[in-house]
Amino acid sequence: MSRTCLVIRHVAFEGLGVLASLLTNLDFEIRCFDAGLEPFPVADMQSCDLLVVLGGPIGVYQVEDYPWLIVETAAIGERLRAQKPTLGICLGAQLMAASLGARVDPGQAKEIGYAPLSLTPTGLASVLAPFANEPVLHWHGDNFDLPRGSVRLAFTQACPNQAFAIENYALGLQFHLEVDPDALESWLIGHAVELSAAGVRPATLRKQAALHGAETAARGMEVIARWLEGVFA
């Protein structure tokens, strides 16, 4: 019997990436919802077997500009308090943290590009072990405090909290492990203004993706497969 996966997407080109095939192969029925285009499916956010909240170029604190963030954050918090399986990536992780009362605000600098993670001792013993000192794709400017009841799994010099887990049912990742390197061009186009403002050249990211993208994607699928195995064992 297939399980249901609801995916909250904040910009069209930041989708499930390589995780789509993983979830399909694990017999998940995937439904994508584009934030802001219609009322949030709050009931579905509570009833689905797995909720995946993806990234985007806005901040969780921009509620005056994007008032639907209030509804989204509240629904995520309700799900987490019910201890239902939830995966958050970048903005998704920030929304998870904020929904449990943690502070989210702009960091000291943007972190964009493929670069290694440092794993905590807990992280080294977790599903993130395949990423010990291995490159991931960073693409964020905001940082979050750890939410109540969570454990820190990873960090970088620019971002003290790169990943957290809450028991076995919630995983929040500041970095991107889902990106298909063959689809990176859509990110380079969609985030052209941000890249220019940050002084990051698309050619640099293309070169990094050619070196690390395939391995990062493979390790990313391994990490999420391990996590799902623990969630639904």
pLDDT over threshold 70, residue 147 = yes
Domains of the chain (ranges, CATH numbers)? 3-231 (3.40.50.880)
pLDDT band for position 1 (cuts 50, 70, 90): low
Q: Write out the chain in H/E/C secondary structure.
A: CCEEEEEEECCCCCCCCCHHHHHHHCCEEEEEEECCCCCCCHHHHHHCCEEEECCCCCCCCCCCCCCHHHHHHHHHHHHHHCCCCEEEECHHHHHHHHHCCCCEEEEEEEEEEEEEEEECHHHHCCCCHHHECCEEEEEEEEEECCCCCCEEEEECCCCCCCEEEECCCEEEECCECCCCHHHHHHHHHHCHHHHHHHCCCHHHHHHHHHHHHHHHHHHHHHHHHHHHHHHCC
* Cβ pair 85, 171 in contact under 8 A: no
Distance CA 78, CA 233 (A): 23
* Cβ pair 31, 6 in contact under 8 A: yes
Q: What are phi and psi of 141, to 5 degrees?
A: -125, -15
Contacts of residue 228, defined as CB under 8 A and 6 or more positions apart, other chains included, come to 26, 50
Is pTM beyond 0.85? Reply is: yes
User: Mean pLDDT throughout 115-144?
Assistant: 96
User: Mean pLDDT throughout 208-225?
Assistant: 97
The pLDDT tens digits for 150-205 are: 999 999 999 999 999 999 999 999 999 999 999 999 999 999 999 999 999 999 99
